[in-house]
């Protein structure tokens, strides 16, 4: 059987997984926005609200585990949320540029192809 501290750690790991997936979705939705009539913006707003609830829950658990409040917010925001979000943005931006680059037709201005 697990003690209460171990249960809190497992719950933190679960919330971090949800936070990771949600931040990844938000970054993807920013780089690849839906077209007109898309429901992606609504899903994005719903996801952001759910992520705020996850971060709040994680903050409460860390404070219950006797972390100082300033350290807990630094660990959550500067140590996890911001780096994951920024890395996801960079990843999807690189993916978008590669997709745009590969979808361009090859140039036909090559004069050495006939020789």
Q: Residues of the chain whose pLDDT is less than 70?
A: 106-115
Condensed to tens digits (0 to 9), the pLDDT of residues 79-110 reads: 999 999 999 999 999 999 999 898 877 666 55
Residue with tokens 């997984």: 17
Q: Which residues contact 33 (CB under 8 A, 6 or more apart)?
A: 40, 41
Say if residue 66 is exposed, middle or buried (CB neighbours under 10 Å; 0-12, 13-18, 19+). Answer: exposed
pLDDT at 104: 77
pTM equals 0.82
Residue 110 is predicted with a pLDDT of 56
Q: What is the mean pLDDT of the chain?
A: 89
Tokens of 11: 């719950």
């Amino acid at each position: 059987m697990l003690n209460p501290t171990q249960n809190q750690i497992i719950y933190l790991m679960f919330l971090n997984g949800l936070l990771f997936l949600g931040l990844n979705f938000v970054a993807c939705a920013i780089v690849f926005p839906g077209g007109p009539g898309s429901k992606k913006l609504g899903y994005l707003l719903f996801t952001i609200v759910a992520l705020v609830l996850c971060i709040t829950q994680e903050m409460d658990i860390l404070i219950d585990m006797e972390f100082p409040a300033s350290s807990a917010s630094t660990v959550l925001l500067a140590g996890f949320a911001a780096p994951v979000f920024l890395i996801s943005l960079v990843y999807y931006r690189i993916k978008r540029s590669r997709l745009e680059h590969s979808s361009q037709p090859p140039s036909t201005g090559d004069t050495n192809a006939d020789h």
